[in-house]
Chains A and B, each alone.
Chain A
């Protein structure tokens, strides 16, 4: 019986010449590797140092989340959603809750929407901070990791005070929020915004004009806007290739219409531009948070949602702009308390397809930089 992982177009027989005589060498990276951000296996076909072909083998973290969804009620499925992109759990929750709310044709009250936006943008910052730390670490700068994690602690403290959990927060409920904001929530958020602004400048100071960083990231992992759209890439990766597409502006959800922010884009679509785009997104998130936290209206935090959620028969696709790209939920309801099918469109899964296009012709050491710059989380790639 053939091993399913060996059915690859790369033709993985060992060459009969020694490794340095052969023109092509097949190297296996992972699934245990310090730089693959999870259990990702990459099979590289090399010519000397150049990458000729690349194949990703995924599924090492597959937990059958979508199948589990068919056997849980809508409310019971809410905590599962956090565990997909475990770094940006709040965004996952937002997408799911909004999708079900659309099915039920209810809308969360304004107060809930403002708090949702604040928490989601805080989570975007936390996710980008983790991305920055690990990406810099892969390229060799060991210090930004500690700075970003230390600052990320402040965000996690706010989450912990709000809903009791730091990482997999389960912050939102279908129809609004469960917990009222705690006393001092606005003060905490404002203090955080003032605290983190100079820190972002600190990260930029360490990396943005550092010539070694520039040499490692400029021109590495290029992808053109056309290729990105053809592959379905979304998020900062798409925006760095010059395509100005952000679902918060294109198909607004929550109440992003009320806020004033820009969409940073890049020009070349290389690793450096993706870095600049995400650094700019830090600042835009701060803008949104500042605008939101001053204007949280009073009111109920939960819409009128029945105790037993039985959406009408139908289907819906709802997507949001998660930190990593377009996170979409396609929910098919057959009228019962349990969904007939939930299909998640994870941004990292689709972005990972671009890895081969980005790595063709690059050197081996760049493959790691490109994996880092795609900002993938295996939890949502494999679900």
Chain B
């Protein structure tokens, strides 16, 4: 439960990690299944919100509180609000009467299970597969999460993601301006 070196000195030991992990993972999976099985789009959106909040809690368990906070603000508090706006503004009564699933769903399940089984087999049994998920890469303490992310972005010697960050924000800006231009009635 607490392998040596995994938890840096001076931070808090984890509390009931397996219990919370399985609980949160169960919430996420159930939420995800509900997203695709609900007929009512608003119910799907609310299930997605639950999934995203559980994911934020998982980030907390991984000692990444900044990412958890940002997940709550952006995903649950921003993107899902926009989803809900769109769902509520268009009339979707027609969609509720449609058939929920494709007629060929048994074939789909078999194919997904086969592919999933193949992935799991490769990742857990072969050495190259296991090398993709090394254990215990938590070199950052929880109290320094925000500062370390800032260092990765801005630090003169260690920061390497600034360019990618700016390019991504430019992409978002282009998307916003495009949406505004397309939706405006009069320029």
Contacts and interface: CB of A to CB of B under 8 A. Distances in A.
A20 interface: yes
B89 interface: yes
Nearest to A18: B91
3 contacts: A18-B91, A20-B89, A21-B91
A220 to B, nearest CB: 21
Main secondary structure of the interface of A (DSSP, over half): loop
A361 to B, nearest CB: 14
B22 to A, nearest CB: 44
Contacts of A18: 91
Contacts of A21: 91
Interface in A6-49: 18, 20-21
Contacts of B89: 20
A20 to B, nearest CB: 6
Interface string B79-100: 0000000000101000000000
Interface of A: 18, 20-21
Nearest to B185: A48
A21 B89 CA distance: 9
Interface string B51-93: 0000000000000000000000000000000000000010100
A211 B85 CA distance: 32
B158 to A, nearest CB: 49
Range for the number of chain B residues in contact with chain A: under 10
A136 B89 CA distance: 33
The 3 closest A-B pairs by CB, nearest first: A18-B91, A20-B89, A21-B91
Interface of B: 89, 91
B176 to A, nearest CB: 22
A54 to B, nearest CB: 22
Nearest to B89: A20
Nearest to A20: B89
A20 B89 CA distance: 7
A20 B88 CA distance: 10
Nearest to A48: B185
A19 to B, nearest CB: 9
A18 B91 CA distance: 7
B90 to A, nearest CB: 8
A18 B90 CA distance: 9
A239 to B, nearest CB: 35
B92 to A, nearest CB: 10
A20 B85 CA distance: 13
A18 B89 CA distance: 10
A18 to B, nearest CB: 5
Nearest to B88: A20
Contacts of B91: 18, 21
B74 to A, nearest CB: 27
A190 to B, nearest CB: 59
Contacts of A20: 89
Nearest to B91: A18
A20 B87 CA distance: 13
A20 B92 CA distance: 13
Nearest to A21: B91
Nearest to B93: A18
A354 B91 CA distance: 38
B41 to A, nearest CB: 15
A55 B171 CA distance: 49
A16 to B, nearest CB: 12
A21 B90 CA distance: 8
A47 to B, nearest CB: 10
A167 to B, nearest CB: 48
B184 to A, nearest CB: 13
A269 B91 CA distance: 42
A20 B91 CA distance: 9
B84 to A, nearest CB: 15
A21 B91 CA distance: 9
A48 to B, nearest CB: 9
B161 to A, nearest CB: 42
A300 B40 CA distance: 83
A274 to B, nearest CB: 30
B94 to A, nearest CB: 11
A370 B97 CA distance: 45
A274 B179 CA distance: 41
B42 to A, nearest CB: 16
A253 to B, nearest CB: 52
